[in-house]
Structure 1
Amino acid sequence: MGPSGAVRSVRARYLVYFQYLGTGFNGVAAVRGSQRAIGVQNYLEEAAERLNSVEPVRFTISSRTDAGVHALSNTAHLDVQRRPGQPPFSPEVVAQALNTHLRHPAIRVLQVFRVPSDFHARHAATSRTYLYRLATGCPGPDQLPVFERNLCWALRTDRLDVPAMQEAAMHLLGTHDFSAFQSAGSPAASPVRTLRRASVSPGPTSPFVLPQENRKLHFWTLEFESQSFLYRQVRRMTAVLVAVGLGVLTPTQVRVILESQDPLGKYQAHPAPAHGLFLKSVLYGGLRDLGKRQHHPSRLGLP
């Protein structure tokens, strides 16, 4: 309380975990102005208006995703400044308010945590994991179950050489200049990244596949983990690994592509479709995976 007796308003920062089905959005980032396109962030900030913050609430997104890309769990931080004399909202109240006022059914807030005022959702992230879903045994996208459309890349083949894909993925592991897998328009200052994990494995059977289709329709999952990725890096790596699975490339040619640092090469220049890609998780030092965390305020630097 100052000399005049006035009570200052308190600004509280929150970390928000949210998920969305990316179909129909122009990506996660807000689209400002009068364009007809709209991002996930537009709906989140519209819902946050109901928190009646003194200053407009803006979401700082940890991981930008393109149009059509989905997220099982993305994150963002936001500040809420209540009027003088009003205590900060609890994280539970913020989560409930956002979900109550979200006007799009393809977005859901998973959880909210109070974080220090200098916490940054993008800069503080220590790990990001993306997964990509493939389907084989399908003559074309129109032959997929309607519930799987826009959720995987339907390949016009009955089989993939998965061991060859796994061997090729090993060439991508470690710290490299990933210029060959970077699309134009990347804001990254350096193309060097460290890929901690790259896996290719059978995916779970879809519950939406009819019994008579089960014998021919199979799903595959590619997963990639790094602290950060270049623009469309995951989709370009996926396209090259699929080329290996189809027998178009050999595993050793993937290393040649990587070392070429050429983003305009025949196989890496055409990213895999956006609709098969999911941001799976964003992790932070001192925090655990969303499904495993047991938080205590002191672990976030709060009293």
Structure 2
Amino acid sequence: TDFNGVAAVRGAQRAVGVQNYLEEAAARLNSVVPVKFTISSRTDAGVHALSNTAHLDVQRRSGQPPFSPEVLAEALNTHLKHPAIRVLQAFRVPGDFHARYAATSRTYLYRLATGCPRPNQLPVFERNLCWALPADCLDVDAMQEAARHLLGTHDFSAFQSTGSPATTSVRTLRRVSVSPGPASTFVLPQESSRLRFWSLEFESQSFLYRQVRRMTAVLVAVGLGALTPAQVKVILDSQDPLGKYQSRMAPAHGLFLKSVLYGGLGTLVRGVGQEGVYCTLL
């Protein structure tokens, strides 16, 4: 919520990204060469990350031993100046490892809340963490039917925002789920009868620029009865990003990068799954 996205903002601008704070902390490591973070997933301003990943190189002065992963994580956390950023874990990886290009899977979570005729009826602690909808409910069956049209390998041009650096708009969507979300611990008893939370999850090796937020907006339109599941297939097949419905985009604040996975790193991150690389960030 406090950042202009995860990527560093260079120059004299007042806005800052998560990467600015990370590199500021890394400067205190006294590396011979300035430390730069390569982030796996460049989330936009307002988007959250339960777990993002990055790689970095630290070149210590002659005669000094390399930092252990545990010392590196502790040192970065000690020098981080923003309480919303935390290094969860660090690992050694091969010299040719790349946090962005080596990722085999990325999962995004989108949180919705129904039963909010006015935005100010959402609990204050949830206002930056979900998309509040005035409807009392969603047609989840229709949303799941529509989501099945998006599964598999397709040209997702219809769900891509302008400004994408991608050389191809073909992606493989491995999983889409629409389900009731866990109840919020911030909902008061007098609110619990009308407020319901919902979760949408999307998994792919990579996504186009704002693809998840555009797919979410279309699926929500299906859930509200503004679109039919069959129309979602028509939108996908149109490959037109400027059509009437695909120009809609879900708000950034409901989106979370949930996990980034890597294949072939099991021996490097034994005991913690495959989400860790040289530096795992929150």
Q: TM-score range by the shorter chain?
A: over 0.9
Letter in 2 for 1:144: L
**Aligned: 1:245 with 2:197:** no
Letter in 1 for 2:258: K
Shift in Å at residue 48 of structure 1?
A: 0.7
Query: Looking at CA atoms only, which structure, 1 or 2, has the larger radius of gyration?
Result: 1
Shift in Å at residue 141 of structure 1?
A: 1.9
Residue 71 of structure 1 is aligned with which of 42, 49, 53? 49
Residue 265 of structure 1 is aligned with which of 235, 240, 243? 243
Distance 1:35 1:84, change over 3 A: same
Q: Structure 2 CA distance, aligned partners of 1:63 and 1:292? A: 24
Shift in Å at residue 286 of structure 1?
A: 2.3
Shift in Å at residue 292 of structure 1?
A: 6.1
Letter in 2 for 1:178: F
CA distances 1:36-56 after superposition (whole Å, capped 9, x unpaired): 111000000001111110000
**Aligned: 1:214 with 2:214:** no
Could you say what the CA RMSD is over the residues aligned between the two structures, in angstroms? Answer: 1.6
What's the TM-score once normalised by structure 1's chain length?
Answer: 0.88
Q: Structure 1 CA distance, aligned partners of 2:237 and 2:273? A: 42
Q: Structure 1 CA distance, aligned partners of 2:98 and 2:35? A: 15
Shift in Å at residue 287 of structure 1?
A: 3.6
Shift in Å at residue 143 of structure 1?
A: 1.1
Q: Structure 1 CA distance, aligned partners of 2:137 and 2:25? A: 45
Quick check: 1:181–1:233 contact (8 Å CA) kept in 2? yes
What is aligned with 1:36? 14
What is aligned with 1:81? 59
Letter in 2 for 1:224: F
CA distances 1:190-210 after superposition (whole Å, capped 9, x unpaired): 000000000000000000000
> After the TM superposition, which parts of structure 1 deviate over 2 Å for at least 4 consecutive aligned residues?
290-295
Quick check: 1:287–1:293 contact (8 Å CA) kept in 2? no
Residue 117 of structure 2 is aligned with which of 139, 142, 147? 139
Give the structure with the larger strand fraction: 1
What is aligned with 2:88? 110
Letter in 2 for 1:249: L
CA distances 1:137-180 after superposition (whole Å, capped 9, x unpaired): 11122111111011000001101000000110000000000000
Quick check: 1:53–1:83 contact (8 Å CA) kept in 2? yes
1:1-303 paired onto structure 2 within 5 Å: 23-287=1-265, 293=272
Q: Structure 2 CA distance, aligned partners of 1:131 and 1:286? A: 25
Distance 1:292 1:242, change over 3 A: farther
Quick check: 1:131–1:221 contact (8 Å CA) kept in 2? yes
Shift in Å at residue 107 of structure 1?
A: 0.8
Shift in Å at residue 213 of structure 1?
A: 0.8
Letter in 2 for 1:293: V
Shift in Å at residue 212 of structure 1?
A: 1.2
Q: Secondary structure at the match of 2:20?
A: helix
Letter in 2 for 1:77: H
Letter in 2 for 1:82: R
Q: Structure 1 CA distance, aligned partners of 2:225 and 2:264? A: 43
Size of the alignment, in residue pairs? 274
Provide structure 2 residue ranges, at least 5 long, that are not aligned to the other structure: none
Which deviates the most, 264-273 or 199-208? 264-273
Compare relative contact order (CA 8 Å, sep 6+) and give the higher one, 1 or 2: 2
Quick check: 1:95–1:111 contact (8 Å CA) kept in 2? yes
Q: Secondary structure at the match of 1:29?
A: coil
What's the TM-score once normalised by structure 2's chain length?
Answer: 0.94
Distance 1:287 1:209, change over 3 A: farther
Q: Structure 2 CA distance, aligned partners of 1:278 and 1:42? A: 20
Provide structure 1 residue ranges, at least 5 long, that are not aligned to the other structure: 1-22
Q: Secondary structure at the match of 2:50?
A: strand
Q: Structure 2 CA distance, aligned partners of 1:246 and 1:203? A: 17
Q: Structure 2 CA distance, aligned partners of 1:291 and 1:40? A: 28
Q: Structure 1 CA distance, aligned partners of 2:86 and 2:175? A: 28
